Each structure stands twice: as structure tokens, then as C-alpha cells.
Amino acid sequence: MPSDKTRPTTPRTLIDFAQPHGDARRLRLGFGAPSRVLVARTAAEVRPVLDAVEALAREGRWCVGYLRYEAAAAFDRAFAVHAVHAVHAAEGPLAWFGVHDEALPWPEAPGDDAAPSIDWQPGISRADFDRRMQAIHRAISDGELYQLNYTAALHARFDGDAQALFMALRQAQPDGYTAFIDTGEEQVLSVSPELFFDWQGDRILTRPMKGTAPRGATPAEDEALAQRLRTVPKERAENVMIVDLIRNDLSRVARPFSVRVPRLFHTEALPTVWQMTSDVEALVREGTTLADVFGALFPCGSITGAPKVSAMRMIRELEHEARGVYCGAVGVVRPGGHATFNVPIRTVTLRNGEARCGIGSGITADARADAEWEEWHHKRAFLDRAGQASTPSFDLLETLALADGELRDAPAHLARMAAAAAHFGRPWNEETVAHCLDGLKARHAAGMWRVRLLLDAQGTPRAEAFTMEAPSARVRLQLAERPFDEAHGDFTRFKTTRRAHYEAFAPTAPGVFDTLLWNRDREITECTRGNIALLLDGRWVTPPLHCGLLNGIGRANRVHSGQLAEAVVRVDDLPRVRALAFVNSLRGWLDADLDGF
């Protein structure tokens, strides 16, 4: 329907899409108020909208929009979906496209407001999750399906600036196929890493994403996790099932014998997870339309399961609300008809003051409930990163001991800060940092000093020195009363001035030196100012990095020398611990007592 509104200063639509065929340039554009809006509110209207989108694009217009998952009913009556009006949060058109006569430059300053912190609430309890996992496993065992992509939605209240939230999400989940679409009725904030399809001329490419692993705390652990993802039979089988499904779907619009799989089991590094993708491509038959492509492929098999009809039927039974834009398709059709759509995972929708974000995973016969639950946690980490983007700015931090003009473990500290700079995308010049430290050493050539080395967002270092008293021979520790929820967060894995999550666990009893932390799985992690060593079963051990802790320099030195071995220690193991020590590079090894044990 035509729109008479004047184009606003801030674009209502933003597209930042990767070029899937290896071109480093991105499709990064803004769009104002559309000259026309195409909307489908019933299944019968979806194909005519897609036909109109294709015709207008071939006339030279830009068409940007989305299809809800529930639009699947327009392409095959066997596809079971919730009625669109079944859940208030998911109400909205089955398809929406804004038509634009021209594209605008990407905005330099898209919004003045900082992204607000959002209190996301889970849409399913762990007990319900386990019950539904059992139901899926029964269906697989009975031969009803091979795999099912099960999801649930997170919900939150939201009354902030939608475009500012999108920019924070995009910073937390960069690259990929990101889009911001404000229809006036709702806002779609998609930072999806998954390509649904790219269709240009007679060539079509799909890139299903199946297989997930967390990122490692060190480069070695990171690469080991990626290698495991590429080689574990469960992950490979899950990927191949969906590749086979999409090959079959694609054959419906492909020229005979043109469907091929040029790449299998490719791992892509995202900020919070490794994802595995495969490429499936084909040459489309002459006369194929955009509606035909959607009819063959939609919804993407990576977010349904296999076989698709059986999987979608069970999805409707298990998921008590419509998916909405999540797991549908968001994309752009360029002038001339080149169409690129994502699979809108990692996607937030805003409607009537409510924010909604779906999280899910593919369930196979050998999937375990605890592992899938943890995968959901890893996948939602981009929301936590976006929330962190709205916090006050922070500096990277290293704390070193300066003894009579010599910095203890300086190379290791600088290497760790360089790794943090790379992770947070900050400039790093080791010569500049070394020059900064040399100046401080010259001013403090005698005595013991505690040095704080800081690196700001522009890569500018500064160093501060404070008088350091001799440490106590023995210290007291207290055990945290609740789990340390940020054990696996960026601001735990890397040392920065953002320490509110640690300060919340500061000792409360007089004379207590520090607090011993533990994660949601009741695994011991570290103290708030250093690592922990424990004498357990006749050997000194320290928690491994995957429990969620800073890779302390003092800890790393002792692991490398063999003084400490890595081992998971749980809260329930503490009565068997015969001795403890607080460990860091600044203070060294301090024997410790734990209150209550």
C-alpha cells in the first residue's frame, strides 16, 4: 500500500549483508520511508506479494522485507504451523516488503541513545525442556523423523531506541547478514550469521548452518573446539542430514544434474560460538520465479529438521507459540532481481513494548539434554554481549609487579593484553606499550610497586604505579553464596576495568581476603582477584579454563612447569580438599584457608 510519509532523517531500514561468494565488500545501505508497502496477512496473499516484489525489483526498485515462519502454509498445505493470531507476541503479517526507489548511504550516527540493558526471561523451564527432549527422542526411535530443530522464545519488556539496540546487537554479532526493518507496526532486528539463499541470474547458493561449539578461552583451546566440531560424528551427521534435505528441496527448481555440494563441514568463527556450514548450489531452470524458489526451499531445513513435513508437525505440537519472523526469512531483492535472504536466527523482534528472541538447536538420536541446554546458553550469548555494549566504556587491564625496576612476567602480560585487544577489536602497538612501561620503570627504579597497565578503546596505553606492601603469608577465603553467572563471559575471560560482576562478590566478613567463585554447574572457577589451587586426592590442581575463569599469568606459569594440573573441582568436592592457595602473578602463591571447611 502506498505511503505518503516524508522520508525521515534516520533510515527506517538498514541492510548490512555479506557477499556470499567471497567478495570482501558488503551490501551496506540504508532506506527511508518506502514508496510502497507490500503485505500478506493470509497464506493466499504470500505468493502474490513475492510476485510483486520480483516484478518491482526487475523494474529497478529495491525491495526489503521478511516472511514469517508461519508463511510456510502458503507453499505446502502439509506444513503444520500455528495460526498467526495464536499468540499476541507473534501477531503480524506473514510477509512484509518495503519498496524503495533508491538506497541511502549507511548512516554515520544511526542513533543518539545507548542501547538499554534488557532483562530476558526464558520461555521454558529446564524440566519442560527435558520432557520435550524425551518426546523428540521417542519420535526418532519410532522412525517418525531423523532430526528436529526445537526452539523456544526469550521475552522481555522493551521501551528504548530500537535502532540503538540493533547497533548493539550488530556489534555483538558482527558480519553475517544483518538487517533492521521498522514497519511502524513492529521492528525486526536480525543479526543472523546464516545465509538462506543467494539467487542471481541462473545461479543459486544455499548455506545451511548446522553444528555449534563454544569458543575457547585460549587460541589452542579455541582451535581444538573448532576441530572437534568438524570431526565429531554427531555434528557431522546433523549437518549431512540437512544438506541432503536441502539438496532435495533445491532440485525442485534446479536444472537436471546441476545440484552440487562444493563445500562440507566449514567452521565459521563467531564471537561466542563456532558454527559449521555447508554449501549447496545449483543452476535454476528457466522461468523460475522468486515465489518458486521460496516454494522449494521455505522454511529452511536447518530450522525444521528432517523429514521436513514430520518435523514441522512435531514442532507445532511441542512449541506452544508461533515462531514469527524467527526462523522465517529476512532479505533484500536488488534492482534487476538479485535476491539474498538470511535465515533469521539471532533475531530480535519488537512489538507492542515486548522484545522476543528465539533460541534453538537440532536434536538427533544421540543428542543429550544437558549438552543441548548448554548450547542454547552459548547461542544466546550474543544478547549478553549486546547488553555489555550499553555499559560505560572500559579499558583493557594488566596488573604487574614491579620490583627494583624489573616488571615480573612482562612478556606474558603483554601477550595476554594483545589477545584481548584483538578480541575486542582495539588497536595494538607493542612498541608504544613498551615505551609507556619504560617511562614508568624509570620513575620507579627502586622498591616494590603494583603497576596497572591500561589500554583504551583507541589503543592508547597508560601505566600507573602504587606502593605495594609485602603480602600476607596466609589468607582467608570465603565461598560464594550463589553461582557466578558471568563465568563464561568476555569480561571474565579477558581482564578489563569492567569488574562490577566481580565486585558483587567482594568479601563481606572482616579479615577475609577474597571470595572463591563457582559456576552454574557448581564447578569451582577462581577468586575475584586471582586463581585458586587446591590439594585434592594427593595432587595440586587448578580449574581448567572451560569452567569459566581468567587465564592468570601465575596460574599459567605453574601449569606449564607441572606444579599444577588442571582438573574440574566441584563445590561438593571441597570437604576432600586438604589445602588451598591463592595464586596470581602480582602476589605469587599465598596459602589459604576457606571459611567453613
- 139-180, pLDDT tens digit by residue? 999 999 999 999 999 999 998 899 999 998 988 887 889 999
pLDDT of 388 > 70? The answer is: no
Q: What is the pLDDT of residue 111?
A: 45
Sign of CA dihedral 171, 169, 115, 489: negative
> What's the whole-number mean pLDDT along residues 543-562?
94
pLDDT of 544 > 80? The answer is: yes
> Where does the pLDDT of residue 432 fall: very low under 50, low under 70, confident under 90, or very high at 90 and above?
very high
pLDDT of 425 > 80? The answer is: no
Comparing 290 with 469, the larger pLDDT belongs to: 290
Task: List, for residues 565-592, the tens digit of each pLDDT value.
Answer: 999 999 999 999 999 999 999 999 999 9
Q: What is the pLDDT of residue 100?
A: 96
The alpha-helical segments, DSSP class H, found in 390-530 are 410-424, 430-443, 490-493, 500-503
**Could you give phi then psi for residue 352, rounded to 5 degrees?**
55, 40
Task: List, for residues 65-77, the tens digit of each pLDDT value.
Answer: 999 999 999 999 9
> Where does the pLDDT of residue 112 fall: very low under 50, low under 70, confident under 90, or very high at 90 and above?
very low
Q: What is the pLDDT of residue 542?
A: 98
- Edge-first strand listing for the sheet containing 461-467: 406-407, 396-403, 448-455, 461-467
pLDDT of 374 > 90? The answer is: no
The architecture CATH gives domain 396-467: 2-Layer Sandwich (3.30)
The region of weakest confidence among 101-110, 127-136, 200-209 is 101-110
Q: Which residues make up the CATH 3.30.470.10 domain(s) of the chain?
A: 396-467
- Mean pLDDT of the chain, nearest integer: 90
The alpha-helical segments, DSSP class H, found in 390-482 are 410-424, 430-443
Q: What is the pLDDT of residue 13?
A: 95
DSSP class of residue 313 equals H
The region of weakest confidence among 25-34, 113-122, 126-135, 173-182 is 113-122
- Is 474-594 a domain of CATH 3.20.10.10? yes
pLDDT of 324 > 90? The answer is: yes
Fold of the CATH domain 13-389: Anthranilate synthase (3.60.120)
Distance, CA of 122 to CA of 125 (rounded, Å): 7
Work out the percent of the chain whose per-residue pLDDT is above 70. 94
Q: Which residues make up the CATH 3.60.120.10 domain(s) of the chain?
A: 13-389
DSSP class of residue 284 equals B
CB 6 within 8 A of CB 169: no
Distance, CA of 358 to CA of 125 (rounded, Å): 14
DSSP class of residue 6 equals P
Query: pTM of the entire structure?
Result: 0.73
Q: What is the pLDDT of residue 385?
A: 75
> What's the whole-number mean pLDDT along residues 427-437?
94
- The DSSP result for 325-340, as a single string, is TTTSEEEEE-TTS-EE
pLDDT of 2 > 60? The answer is: no
Task: List, for residues 444-493, the tens digit of each pLDDT value.
Answer: 999 999 999 999 988 999 999 999 887 788 999 999 999 998 887 888 98
Q: What is the pLDDT of residue 46?
A: 97
Exposure of 467 in the CB half-sphere (CA atoms within 13 A): 1
> Where does the pLDDT of residue 225 fall: very low under 50, low under 70, confident under 90, or very high at 90 and above?
confident
Q: What is the pLDDT of residue 109?
A: 52
Task: List, for residues 193-207, the tens digit of each pLDDT value.
Answer: 999 999 999 999 999
> Where does the pLDDT of residue 223 fall: very low under 50, low under 70, confident under 90, or very high at 90 and above?
confident
Instruction: Please list the active-site residues.
Output: 194, 210
pLDDT of 4 > 70? The answer is: no
The region of weakest confidence among 89-93, 112-116, 583-587, 593-597 is 112-116
Counts of helices then strands in the chain (DSSP H, E): 14, 30
Burial of residue 465, with CB atoms counted within 10 A of its CB: 0-12 exposed, 13-18 middle, 19 or more buried: middle
Q: Which residues make up the CATH 3.20.10.10 domain(s) of the chain?
A: 474-594
Q: What is the pLDDT of residue 391?
A: 53
